[in-house]
Structure 1
Amino acid sequence: MSDLYVSWAEYHSQIEKLAIQIDQSQWEFDQILCLARGGLRVGDVLSRLFDKPLAILSTSSYGGKDFQERGNLKIASNITMTTDTLGGRILLVDDLVDSGVTLMNILEWLKQHSEFQVSEVRSAVLWFKACSVAKPDYYVDFLDDNPWIHQPFEKYEKLKPQNLL
């Protein structure tokens, strides 16, 4: 397994490529549900580009040294959104599909919450790793060597506010 280092410019370019792909598919969706933390920036930009409401569901499965140890998936009990409910056709957004466990579990979680009135879900990520057990509907890069992806915002995971002085 190699490492992939992504700059801010490359990161934003990936989001733009994903937006083009989604747009060219001509699939109409009603809302974006992003998985925070990794999908938060992606969801924000797509929400602005497509002018669609953004809903946020916090999830967590990585921790340990440099946040590179996969643990049990934790899913928040509530979705944060500015609409009355989550419903219709949903674009589920994250930064990447690594093992695919998060994507599979969130799709199942949405099915179990019938109060949301979701009619269709499609998933979109920047990176899709070959080791994943789930395939996203939209992705920019397929990574057959399953690299660890170092995203530009990760530097803040090792900093404290006093380090910024």
Structure 2
Amino acid sequence: MPDLFVSWPEYHQKIEQLAVCIYESHWPLNQIVCLARGGLRIGDVLSRLFDLPLAVLATASYGGEAGQLRGSLKIAEHLTMTTGTLGSHVLLVDDLVDSGTTFQEVVGWLTHHHGADLQALRTAVLWYKAGSSFQPDYYVDYLPDNPWIHQPFERYEHTSPAELKVNP
């Protein structure tokens, strides 16, 4: 499996490209839900650009020393949001779609827990890997060779606050 290394400028450029793609679709979204942790930065930027409320749903499926071991998906018990109800046209955002399992399960979770509010749900990612069983509605890059993506914030997974004090 090849590796894809992404810098901060490239990462931000991808988010902006995703925003343009969503904007050009003219889809009337009125709420953004991001999956934490990978979709937090993306959801925050899209929420600001589209001037829409942001909701956060924590999920976890990767762990291990290198963060490359996929385990069973864990989904938070509640969606965190500042609005009284979920919007009717929700954009579900994450950084990438790898196997597709997370999106499939979260779409089911949102439908089960907030189905009365939802009229339409679309999905958006920066990277769509060919090995995924789930196709997002919006994506920036399709990756036919399923690379491991090294994102710019990955260094914080291997750095402690004490190390920052010594090596700022």
Shorter-chain TM-score tier:
over 0.9
Unaligned runs of 5+ in 1: none
In structure 1, give the amino acid aligned to 2:51. D
Query: Which stretches of structure 1, 4 residues or more, deviate above 4 A after TM superposition?
Result: none
Aligned-partner SS, 2:79: coil
Structure 2 equivalent of residue 118 of structure 1: 118
Please report the TM-score for the alignment, with normalisation by the length of structure 2: 0.96
Structure 2 equivalent of residue 66 of structure 1: 66
Structure 2 equivalent of residue 55 of structure 1: 55
Aligned-partner SS, 1:16: helix
1:6-155 alignment runs, 5 A limit? 6-114=6-114, 117-155=117-155
Which whole-Å CA distance do the structure 1 matches of 2:41 and 2:111 have between them? 25
Aligned-partner SS, 1:18: helix
Q: Given that residues 7 and 152 in structure 1 are in contact (C-alpha distance below 8 angstroms), is that contact kept between their aligned partners in structure 2?
A: yes
Which whole-Å CA distance do the structure 2 matches of 1:137 and 1:69 have between them? 27
Aligned-partner SS, 2:66: helix
Which whole-Å CA distance do the structure 2 matches of 1:142 and 1:115 have between them? 30
Superposition RMSD on alpha carbons, in Å?
0.9
Unaligned runs of 5+ in 2: none
Please report the TM-score for the alignment, with normalisation by the length of structure 1: 0.98
